Amino acid sequence: MVSIQIVLFDGFDLLDAIAPYEVFHAASMNVKDNLSVEFVTAEGPRSVKSGVNDVLLEAEEKLDPTRPGIILVPGAAGAVDGEGPDSIPAILGRAMNTELTRMVEHALHQKDMVIAGVCGGSLLLAMGGLLEGRHGVTHHLGMDALAATGVTTVQARVVDDGNFVSSGGVTSGLDLALYLVERELGPRIAHAVEQLFEFERRGTVWRDVGLVPRHGTAKAEDDENSTTNKVGHTDSAMLNQSRIASIFEGEWATEIMTPIGKLDVALSISTDKETIRGKATQGEETVQFIHPVIQGNKMTWSLPITKPLRLNLKFEVSVDGDKMIGTAKAGVLPASKLIGKRIL
């Protein structure tokens, strides 16, 4: 018996969940007593509002992360732009902060378990820190954000990374479900469902096997892992940049207004004639700035965070006296406003 648990959460995308459900249900009609499919939630049986006009679906059971089979996580439907509570990042963030993340993490360590992400479902799991170092795909608008969580992104319709399989945009849920039917039950059953639906899968399922295609010689880039950066080059430029850099020096208390809540972050910045260094402290976690750069009267750097979700943020700030203002951004997710004041 192959068990399929499709996870619902408030604001889920209707087609992300319904399309795979239809495929798996059609497959079950061809393999009597060999496949079951049901809607579940992290909380248990309940009515769940989708993000598409609040359409309700009934979840029959509580997600069981120990049951061998497939757990499928859909994405969210909401505003693509903006930082309000109905934006996709906010919906995904709320779902990530439920027991769902812990349950899926437990499932990933179980034998005979496959986790599948449709569209933003991959991003939801990645934001919870579950997919760092894995290969995956999500909706094209979220690919930069997915990469910012430490996922190796692949431009493919469906990506198979062993016990984690993901697909791109909303309609790719059909392709993912058909591929999983073929993988678990064989090509004849998958073909029968394709014929019933009059639908053919698109593209090649990407897997990390076989020969590696040749690429052109990559252009050398700056070392993104450097925690220090040159402030200037010529003597006059160095003097000018050193003066500018000095305005960023000190201890800063900052607030970052993210779509899922306010972050209090302490920044410590120091410079000398040739280099600039910084570190950020949030709670008990302290991390070094990555590739800090002074550009005119602005300072930029990257920073990996793990709370309230796992992301690599890119910062851009300017300073006016003892006040700091700027943004923190991950991929195409909305930029979050940063404000701060010098405390030392």
pLDDT given for residue 217 in this prediction: 39
3-state helix, strand, coil in the chain (%, to 5): 25, 35, 40
80-91: pLDDT as tens digits: 876 688 999 889
Whose tokens are 């910084």? That residue is 278
Q: Is the pLDDT of residue 239 over 70?
A: no
More confident residue, 220 or 8: 8
- Percentage of residues of the chain with pLDDT beyond 70: 87
Q: Is the pLDDT of residue 62 over 80?
A: yes
pLDDT given for residue 218 in this prediction: 40
Q: Is the pLDDT of residue 291 over 90?
A: no
> How sure is the predictor about 229, in pLDDT bands with cuts at 50, 70 and 90?
low
Q: Is the pLDDT of residue 134 over 70?
A: yes
> How sure is the predictor about 295, in pLDDT bands with cuts at 50, 70 and 90?
confident
pLDDT given for residue 273 in this prediction: 64
HEC string for 136-190: ECCCHHHHHHHHHCCCEECCCCEEECCCEEEECCCCHHHHHHHHHHHHHHCHHHH
Q: Is the pLDDT of residue 235 over 80?
A: no
What is the chain's mean pLDDT, rounded?
88
Helical ranges in the chain per DSSP H: 14-28, 88-96, 100-108, 120-127, 143-148, 172-185, 187-197, 235-246
Q: How far apart are CA 101 and CA 83, in angstroms?
A: 22
When mean pLDDT is compared over 80-84, 282-286, 305-309, the highest value belongs to: 282-286
Q: Nearest-5° angle of CA 281, CA 282, CA 283?
A: 115
User: Residue 171: phi, psi to the nearest 5?
Assistant: -70, -10
198-211: pLDDT as tens digits: 999 999 999 999 99
Q: Kindly report the pTM of this predicted structure.
A: 0.75
What residues contact 102, with CB distance under 8 A and at least 6 apart?
none
Q: How far apart are CA 240 and CA 234, in angstroms?
A: 10
